[in-house]
């Protein structure tokens, strides 16, 4: 299963970025096993005045990830991911490796919707 984790850096030791759309990287990992398949830079999302979440969602969809793990997910990105069949899981802090371990052990539950308001 391919996971996409919002992160401040490109590897397993990087902290999870609490912002999905404005995360510096989307680390794509094969689970189980925690093998990094790619680290997608998200500079365009970081610099976007609006639409960062939807842009990041499209990158996840293009990478064919089935699951997103992030700190927070806004309404537009949640809808885009949900429409593509991508499940969203929320986590607090830790590294990419920590988030994957929590997911694999069943400590994370799927988000039922966006947990933050959109930005204008």
pTM, 2 dp: 0.91
* Boundaries of every domain in the chain: 2-104
| Cβ burial 2-12 (10 Å sphere, 16+ → b, else e) | bbbbbbbebeb
For 80, the token pair is 């885009």
Tell me what the mean pLDDT of segment 16-43 comes to.
91
Alpha-helical runs (H) found in the chain: 43-47, 52-62, 75-83, 96-104
How confident is the model at residue 118, as a pLDDT?
A: 61
Q: Looking at the domain 2-104, which fold is it? A: Nucleotidyltransferase; domain 5 (3.30.420)
pLDDT score of 86 more than 70: yes
Per-residue pLDDT of 49-78, as tens digits, reads 566 789 999 999 999 999 999 999 999 999
Angle at CA 17, nearest 5°, toward 49 and 113? 75
pLDDT range class, residue 93, cuts 50, 70, 90: confident
**pLDDT greater at residue 91 or residue 117:** 91
Query: Which three-class secondary structure state does DSSP give residue 45?
Result: helix
pLDDT score of 32 more than 90: no
pLDDT score of 19 more than 80: yes
């Amino acid at each position: 299963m391919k996971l996409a984790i919002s992160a401040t850096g490109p590897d397993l030791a990087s902290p999870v970025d609490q912002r999905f759309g404005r995360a510096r990287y989307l680390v794509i990992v094969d689970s189980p096993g925690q093998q990094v398949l790619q680290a997608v830079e998200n500079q365009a999302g970081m610099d976007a005045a609006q639409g960062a979440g939807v842009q990041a969602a499209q990158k996840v969809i293009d990478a064919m990830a089935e699951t997103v793990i992030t700190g927070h997910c806004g309404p537009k990105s949640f809808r885009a991911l949900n429409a593509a069949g991508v499940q969203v899981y929320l986590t607090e802090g830790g590294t990419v490796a920590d988030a994957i371990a929590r997911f694999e052990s069943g400590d994370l539950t799927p988000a039922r919707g966006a947990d933050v308001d959109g930005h204008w």
